[in-house]
């Protein structure tokens, strides 16, 4: 991915150019598995794999055939041996999750794929589907079979009009080819796939909220236990996996769990797609082995900070993971190393801010997001995100008070781990981490009664700033 600019996408008007010298993904002569560092994006230079024929010509759906010859228990063992951890943010071991789904309960069992991207800054799942939808469908079929299910649902983000159309077409192709339906690849095992679109609610990426939404209710999280594995969709045993997680599955089945386990650090094996955005020269999705340093990703792949500016802050895993700074440039990007640095790997979404960006405004925008997306079920989240947004607006507009900083800290303490789901915790991350690393910037806003970056605020004469504050409905809290 780092080799060339990627302006062309499947389905776009330009068509894709094959990446010269790209290693084939499925090299049957190599017993150690594919030589490339890239696993799930290895084919992104090849537009042929967009279609079923192209995907099959490259060895696609062979792993499903292999899987169907295995027992469920053996298949789950392979995924367990791989050490694959969920790519949706939590990092729970995938094989273990599969093994939690009880079989033979007499109830239907469901497999649900979570395609409700995105955590702000995250854009890997969308591109995985837009470029190679069958890789995902093959992983989904294997997972469905492994848990003894016959019904797979794909919960798609509503705003993904085009990616969802790509997926719909791919599902239709797969049915026609006998990959889905009454007899998967002629084995007599039935798998049906139902595509379900959401309608614009970030919270539906949370697995219990997703289930509520899929069942036709407001997308509000549920208390666990019971866990979805036991009582999920329609009250039945349910497996929920992220799209990127499922994309890894065919490769693991094909090359073996041990092959995967050898890539990257022992506790966070495999590769990860890092979605890099913000102030970098070449934003994009970059698949690297887990444990790569941020410096490598930023400088060798994303082209460094834009316009030669200095790195100020970055999120390792999207907006809900605590910000890190320039001093963390050599931190390794894997679950354990990021945790040791005081943050979370999350979805691997790196949002880069440079020295000219105002951290208070960045935090304000992120909290506004959480205030908008809070489902309203839990008081600490519903009220905390709303009031947090108001206080941050006030500080950014130049009307902050010294006591606002302890107030924000107190707010965080009253939200963290006090709600049904992790949305509230996600909102606390940018508040607490920005206060930890950039407290001086907050203090400057308050002391100067303006934003030091934009100059807006009553500290300087600027009627436009006053008007803007009015526009945002600030008048009642400016006091």
Partner 1 sequence: MAVLGAEDRARAAEIMARYPKGRERAAIIPLLYLVQSVEGHVTRDGLRDVAELLGTTTAEVEAVASFYTMFRLRPTGTHLVNVCTNLSCALVGAWDVFEAAHDATGAPHGGDVSDDGMFTVHEEECLAACDAAPVVQVDFVNHDKVSPERMREIVERLRNGEVPEPARGIAPTDFKHASRILAGLEE
User: Which residue ranges make up the site for partner 1 (CB under 8 A)?
Assistant: 9-13, 108, 117-123, 125-126, 130, 151, 157-162, 165-166, 168-169, 194-202, 213-219, 234, 275-279, 283-285, 319, 349, 351, 353, 357, 362, 365-366, 369, 372-373, 375, 471
In the bound complex, what is the minimum distance in angstroms from residue 415's beta carbon to partner 1?
Answer: 20
Q: Which of 101, 106, 172, 104 is nearest to 143 (CA)?
A: 101
- In three-state secondary structure terms, 15 is coil
For partner 1, which is the closer residue by CB, 218 or 436? Answer: 218
In the bound complex, what is the minimum distance in angstroms from residue 317's beta carbon to partner 1?
Answer: 13
In the bound complex, what is the minimum distance in angstroms from residue 352's beta carbon to partner 1?
Answer: 8
Q: State the number of CA atoms in the 13 A half-sphere of 87 facing the CB.
A: 32
Distance (Å, whole) CA 142 – CA 144: 5
For partner 1, which is the closer residue by CB, 108 or 256? Answer: 108
In the bound complex, what is the minimum distance in angstroms from residue 464's beta carbon to partner 1?
Answer: 12
For partner 1, which is the closer residue by CB, 13 or 310? Answer: 13
The C-alpha angle 384, 386, 392, rounded to 5 degrees, equals 95
The two structure tokens encoding residue 383: 């009220």
Whether cis (ω within 30° of 0) applies to the bond prior to 226 is: yes
Residue with tokens 């294997």: 142
DSSP 120-178: TT--HHHHHHHH-HHHHHHHHHHHHHHTT-SEEEEEE-TT-HHHHHHHHHHHHHHHHTT
Distance (Å, whole) CA 182 – CA 165: 23
Distance (Å, whole) CA 58 – CA 56: 5
In the bound complex, what is the minimum distance in angstroms from residue 315's beta carbon to partner 1?
Answer: 8
For partner 1, which is the closer residue by CB, 138 or 164? Answer: 164
Q: In 382-391, which positions are buried (b, 16+ CB within 10 angstroms) versus exposed (e)?
A: bbbbbbbbbb
In the bound complex, what is the minimum distance in angstroms from residue 375's beta carbon to partner 1?
Answer: 8
For partner 1, which is the closer residue by CB, 82 or 118? Answer: 118
For partner 1, which is the closer residue by CB, 12 or 178? Answer: 12
In the bound complex, what is the minimum distance in angstroms from residue 342's beta carbon to partner 1?
Answer: 20
In the bound complex, what is the minimum distance in angstroms from residue 198's beta carbon to partner 1?
Answer: 7
Bridge partners of 305, per DSSP, are: 280
For partner 1, which is the closer residue by CB, 79 or 333? Answer: 333
Q: State the number of CA atoms in the 13 A half-sphere of 141 facing the CB.
A: 32
Let me know: does 351 contact 121? Beta carbons within 8 Å: yes
For partner 1, which is the closer residue by CB, 217 or 417? Answer: 217
Under DSSP, the state recorded for 48 is G
Question: What long-range pairs does 455-460 form, CB within 8 A, spacing at least 24?
Answer: 456/397, 456/398, 457/397, 457/398, 457/399, 458/398, 458/399, 459/398
For partner 1, which is the closer residue by CB, 92 or 234? Answer: 234
In the bound complex, what is the minimum distance in angstroms from residue 256's beta carbon to partner 1?
Answer: 32
């Amino acid at each position: 991915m780092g080799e060339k600019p990627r302006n062309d996408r499947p389905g776009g008007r330009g068509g894709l150019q094959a990446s010269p010298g790209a290693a084939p993904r499925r090299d049957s002569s190599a017993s150690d598995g594919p030589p490339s560092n890239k696993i799930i994006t290895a084919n992104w230079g090849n537009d042929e794999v967009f279609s079923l024929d192209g995907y099959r010509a490259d060895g696609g759906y062979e792993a499903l055939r292999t899987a169907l010859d295995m027992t469920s228990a053996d298949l789950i063992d392979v995924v367990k041996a791989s050490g694959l951890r969920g790519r949706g943010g939590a990092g729970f071991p995938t094989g273990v999750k599969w093994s939690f789904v009880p079989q033979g309960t007499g109830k239907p069992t469901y497999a649900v794929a979570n395609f409700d991207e995105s955590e702000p800054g995250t854009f890997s799942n969308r591109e995985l589907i837009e470029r190679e939808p069958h890789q995902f469908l093959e992983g989904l079929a294997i997972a469905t079979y492994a848990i003894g299910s016959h019904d797979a649902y794909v919960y798609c983000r509503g705003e993904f009009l085009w990616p969802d159309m790509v997926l719909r077409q791919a599902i239709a192709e797969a049915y026609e080819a006998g990959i889905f339906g009454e007899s998967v690849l002629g084995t007599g095992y039935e798998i049906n796939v139902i595509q379900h679109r959401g309608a614009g609610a970030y919270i539906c990426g949370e697995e219990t909220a997703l289930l509520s939404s899929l069942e036709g209710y407001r997308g509000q999280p549920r208390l666990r236990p019971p866990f979805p594995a036991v009582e999920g969709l329609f009250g039945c045993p349910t497996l929920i996996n992220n799209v990127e997680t499922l994309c890894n599955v065919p490769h693991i089945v094909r090359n073996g769990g041990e092959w995967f386990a050898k890539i990257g650090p022992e506790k966070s094996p495999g590769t990860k797609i890092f979605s890099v955005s913000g102030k970098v020269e070449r934003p994009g999705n970059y698949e690297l082995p887990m444990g790569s340093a941020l410096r490598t990703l930023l400088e060798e792949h994303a082209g460094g900070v834009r316009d030669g500016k200095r790195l100020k802050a970055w999120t390792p895993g999207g907006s809900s993971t605590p910000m890190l700074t320039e001093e963390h440039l050599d931190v390794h990007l894997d679950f354990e190393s990021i945790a040791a640095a005081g943050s979370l790997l999350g979805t691997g979404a790196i949002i880069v801010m440079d020295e000219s960006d105002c951290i208070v405004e960045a935090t304000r925008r992120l909290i506004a997001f959480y205030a908008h997306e809070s489902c309203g079920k839990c008081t600490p989240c519903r009220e905390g995100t709303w009031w947090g947004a108001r206080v941050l607006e006030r500080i950014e507009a130049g009307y902050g008070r010294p006591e606002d900083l302890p107030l924000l800290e107190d707010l965080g303490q009253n939200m963290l781990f006090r709600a049904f789901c992790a949305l509230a915790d996600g909102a606390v991350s940018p508040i607490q981490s920005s206060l930890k690393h950039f407290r001086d910037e907050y203090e400057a806003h308050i002391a100067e009664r303006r934003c030091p970056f934009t100059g807006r605020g009553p500290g300087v004469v600027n009627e436009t700033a006053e008007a803007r504050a009015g526009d945002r409905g600030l008048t009642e809290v400016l006091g």
